[in-house]
Chain A
């Protein structure tokens, strides 16, 4: 049982480039979310989804897009990368709120 799988583990982008962070879960969880972790800021919610076809904004959504076409996948798109998006990104899922989240191992993104 793989749980929550994130790819890639590391990524370096130049300012203005776009990319997609992948997230997949095999637990049939309805709820999926993306967080970023920055020093001194804890984990902050970017976007979340309560089921296929439904997405909503979290605390820090600007500069990111998401879609949820299947229960298993929840990709995060950076449209035009900025240095302020340098962070560690975590995807998480659960059967529903407020049940505990299962996290992936993160993607470390550097934007130069």
Chain B
């Protein structure tokens, strides 16, 4: 049973526009959430995280939003660049527990 879900397998966005990637989770005990970015033939790399005590965290062009009541988080990339084209995984965990990953969303930024 998938505890972390990314319902959009793919997303295409024009360069310079906003990319919004979504993630839903089912376990209310999750208290730490991360986004990873993965290029082909490479391992995932950590992008940004958020703790459940916050509802927003920014790092440059990347912002993660957390809506605990809806069990939903999103990653905003503004402005999108061609180099952002990759697969994005969200992940969640609770204290003393493993990370649960979503199935990934493939983002294509069109020049």
Contacts and interface: CB of A to CB of B under 8 A. Distances in A.
Given A42-B2, A42-B4, A97-B93, A102 B101 contact: no
A98 B92 CA distance: 9
A45 B98 CA distance: 8
Contacts of B41: 105-106
Interface in B97-111: 97-99, 101-104
| Chain B interface, >50% SS class | loop
A3 to B, nearest CB: 9
B32 interface: yes
Interface stretch (B43-51, B66-74, B76-84): B43-51
Interface of B: 2, 4, 6, 32, 34, 36, 41-46, 49, 89, 91, 93, 95-99, 101-104
Given A98-B95, A103-B45, 6 more contacts: A42-B103, A58-B98, A97-B98, A100-B49, A101-B44, A101-B99
